[in-house]
Chain A
């Protein structure tokens, strides 16, 4: 899911953006349909609440619509879009002053879970594998929830969106040194929380 996109898809997006800029709401609707799930998933992982994530994704798309005239076609539309949505989510987090209920909980690392190497979809999977995958998602979901919002933002922007360090610093509004520190600790915490998986792979 990194931000790199085939140029064909990018061109298609840019064409839809041009039509949207001229007031074609149906063209913008196509862009929304294309990216709504991805944007919502990102906001959900940041705020950890389904309803808030839904509303923030709405606000992000609406803000993007209002700012379409500022899009200069120098980057992929999605890159531009998720920066807007990320900023909306970060502003929301700042306003709510969300505090992590607790950082890393060592007990999570000891929960029994069947380790699996094939966590990525590879064609047909058996019901057992699907169940394992579901458990793994629940496990990781809980682990991400244990990260602080600051750590969560940074690791999502790096691992999911594939941003460069300086881009993350720009979006989050901190120094590259802070990004490096947060990213390191977020990675180590996730690794620790999934320790038993690592040991069994």
Chain B
């Protein structure tokens, strides 16, 4: 059983045969008090006005419409295009650049560390050479006027000889190691 709405649409859109159409038009007049001709005319006016309205709805900025759309399409094509052979993916090259930066930073830090060690720490830790306490007599004198004292430095021997010219014997107060040994032995 068709509803009235369905029948009305089919009648208006010409989907009924002649008999069905006549029967429905009678129903419109008798049951619903509608004039079939007026109904068709109203529908025709509304439809024509609707078509006219849609046809006269302007598209704002039509050229920009196309260019904007093509822009989207080209962006989509670029995004979905496979990477050319041999070329690293964008993510890989990005990762690579990070690695290179890290490596360079590490090398620089290591270089600075070595230089600092060599300049500041290594000298402090290295064994110092033994100090040579070389005695060099710069001046010598004798209380005896008859004795002159002359210091002679032998560079190769790393020794200094005190040459006492005019001294006949050692002073009594000067005891040699031998005399001390003798004295100790005699006691």
Interface set of A (CB-CB < 8 Å, partner B): 1, 23, 25, 28-29, 32-33, 36-38, 40-42, 44-45, 50, 54, 57-58, 61-62, 65-66, 119-121, 133, 136-137, 140-141, 144, 155-156, 158-160, 165, 177, 180-181, 183-185, 187, 190-191, 194, 197-198, 201
Task: Check A140 against B49 for contact (C-beta < 8 Å).
Answer: yes
Instruction: Pick from A25, A45, A57, A181: contact of B3, CB below 8 A.
Output: A181
Q: How far is the CA of A36 from the CA of B59 in the complex (A)?
A: 8
Contacts of A165 in B (CB 8 A): 9
Contacts of A66 in B (CB 8 A): 76
Contacts of B49 in A (CB 8 A): 119, 136-137, 140, 194, 197
Counting chain B residues whose Cβ lies within 8 A of the other chain, the interface size class is 35 or more
Closest 10 CB pairs of A and B: A184-B5, A41-B57, A191-B42, A180-B6, A40-B59, A41-B54, A190-B46, A37-B59, A198-B42, A140-B49
Contacts of B47 in A (CB 8 A): 159
Interface set of B (CB-CB < 8 Å, partner A): 3-6, 8-9, 12-13, 38, 41-43, 45-62, 65-66, 68-70, 72-74, 76-77
Q: How far is the CA of A62 from the CA of B69 in the complex (A)?
A: 7
Task: Check A61 against B69 for contact (C-beta < 8 Å).
Answer: yes
Instruction: Pick from A120, A160, A177, A187: contact of B54, CB below 8 A.
Output: A160
Q: How far is the CA of A36 from the CA of B70 in the complex (A)?
A: 13
Task: Check A32 against B72 for contact (C-beta < 8 Å).
Answer: no
Shortest beta-carbon distance, B122 to chain A, in Å? Answer: 68
- Contact A197/B6 with A58-B68, A62-B72, A66-B76 known, Cβ cut-off 8 Å: no
22 contacts between A and B (CB under 8 A): A1-B51, A1-B55, A25-B73, A29-B69, A36-B66, A40-B65, A45-B57, A50-B60, A65-B73, A120-B51, A121-B52, A137-B52, A140-B46, A144-B53, A155-B50, A156-B54, A160-B54, A184-B4, A185-B5, A190-B50, A194-B45, A198-B38
Closest A residue, CB atoms, query B68: A58
